[in-house]
């Protein structure tokens, strides 16, 4: 037994030493959690066959992704790449927009600012931005906490996406109405004001650099959107799979991250701190006050949580399978480029299930 164990160690060392390129795959059959190095883009891989997946259905999955305007697709299991595909001329080196999937980056950075003692999410937003940051009466403005911004329960009008003071008007008392809106961007101002630096610098130092991500924030007229390569999106997914921990270092406080991926209010149980949650009894959607019965994505695992952005940018995190799934690209349905959840999710998971089950 000892000789067999030593042979496994020797073979593992030989496999690692054979890699000379940052992007070269390193095939490793290992059930432990793996984290790619932060200093380069070397990444261990594992084959679908070693996981006993149904390889005969992989072509159908790829065809579906191509037909639905995808640019890239990845699956990680235990941190190792099982599938990594690029379509329509896109490459591993090219950045792509996260859209609202990047809200989860804002949530994570807010949590880091709290663990660093800069903010308390239960405090009023005006404690950091000063009073009169909205176009509301002071009494109503003072009801809005940082937590309300994290949970989409600020009570601010969600029909106006440009975040300027004149648009930040009262609809309901904070905490009494869930409505998906762009006012979450005020979290970036809270972090910036409390840290005495700009949000991107704080994010770069405290999150991006620590897990080896690339990417940048593009500040547009209406939206502030993160762009990165597919592998960097996967790195954040892997951090999330491990409850904010990266290779032994707790980047995001574990209790805060648990709150991120747990029902954050009783109005829309399928929403955490800017994360979407599967497997709940009901859900709401952007730009709609309807409460729909049932789970968000019936074909996906019940414990899945997701970062979701317009044009079907996706990070699916599935703890029960130690799995992260990434999809980037153009809208699957260009005539209906949803802000978040779309019928694409359920159809995609039908194809994924045919491979992994």
Residues 6+ apart with CB under 8 A from 240: 104, 257, 261, 305, 307, 315, 317, 324
Residue 320: how many CB atoms within 10 A of its CB?
Answer: 9
pLDDT at 252 (0 to 100)? 98
Query: Which pLDDT belongs to residue 26?
Result: 55
Buried b (16+ CB within 10 A) or exposed e, 74-102: bbbbbbbbbbbbbbeebeeeebbbbbbbb
Superfamily holding 48-320+327-356 = DD-peptidase/beta-lactamase superfamily (3.40.710.10)
DSSP secondary structure letters along 191-228: HHHHHTS-HHHHHIIIIIGGGT---EEEE-SS-EEEEE
- Assigned token pair, 107: 């949530």
Per-residue pLDDT of the chain (357 residues; tens, 9 = 90+): 434 433 333 333 433 333 333 455 555 556 799 999 999 999 999 999 999 999 999 999 999 999 999 999 999 999 999 999 999 999 999 999 999 999 999 999 999 999 999 999 999 999 999 999 999 999 999 999 999 999 999 999 999 889 999 999 999 999 999 999 999 999 999 999 999 999 999 999 999 999 999 999 998 767 789 999 999 999 999 999 999 999 999 999 999 999 999 999 999 999 999 999 999 999 999 989 999 999 999 999 999 999 999 999 999 999 999 999 999 999 998 877 666 677 899 999 999 999 999
């Amino acid at each position: 037994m000892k000789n067999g164990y030593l042979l496994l160690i020797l073979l593992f060392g030989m496999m690692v030493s054979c890699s000379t390129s940052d992007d070269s795959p390193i095939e490793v059959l290992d059930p432990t959690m793996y984290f790619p190095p932060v200093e380069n883009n070397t990444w261990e891989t594992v084959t679908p066959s070693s996981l006993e997946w149904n390889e005969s259905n992989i072509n159908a999955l790829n065809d579906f992704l191509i037909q639905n305007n995808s640019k890239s697709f990845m699956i990680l299991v235990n941190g190792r790449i099982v599938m990594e595909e690029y379509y329509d001329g896109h490459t591993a080196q090219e950045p792509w927009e996260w859209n609202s999937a990047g809200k989860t980056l804002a949530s994570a950075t807010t949590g880091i600012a709290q663990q660093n003692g800069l903010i308390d999410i239960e405090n009023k937003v005006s404690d950091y931005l000063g009073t009169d940051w909205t176009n509301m009466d002071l009494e109503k403005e003072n009801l809005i906490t940082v937590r309300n911004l994290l949970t989409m329960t600020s009570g601010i009008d969600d029909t106006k996406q440009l975040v300027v003071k004149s648009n930040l008007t009262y609809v309901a008392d904070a905490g009494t109405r869930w409505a998906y809106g762009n006012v979450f961007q005020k979290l970036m101002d809270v972090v910036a004001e409390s840290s005495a630096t700009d949000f991107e610098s704080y994010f770069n130092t405290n999150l991006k650099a620590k897990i080896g991500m690339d990417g940048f924030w593009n500040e547009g007229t209406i939206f502030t959107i993160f762009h990165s390569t597919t592998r960097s999106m996967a790195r954040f997914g892997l951090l999330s799979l491990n409850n904010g921990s990266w290779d032994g270092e707790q980047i995001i406080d574990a209790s805060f991250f648990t709150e991120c991926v747990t029902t954050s209010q009783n109005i829309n149980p399928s929403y955490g701190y800017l994360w979407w949650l599967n497997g709940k009894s009901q859900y709401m959607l952007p730009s709609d006050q309807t409460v729909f019965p049932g789970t968000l994505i019936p074909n996906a695992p019940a414990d899945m949580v997701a970062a979701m952005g317009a044009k079907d940018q996706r990070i699916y995190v599935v703890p029960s399978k130690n799995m992260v799934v990434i999809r980037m690209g153009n809208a699957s349905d260009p005539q209906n480029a949803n802000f978040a959840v779309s019928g694409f999710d359920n159809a995609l998971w039908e194809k994924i299930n045919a491979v992994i089950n």
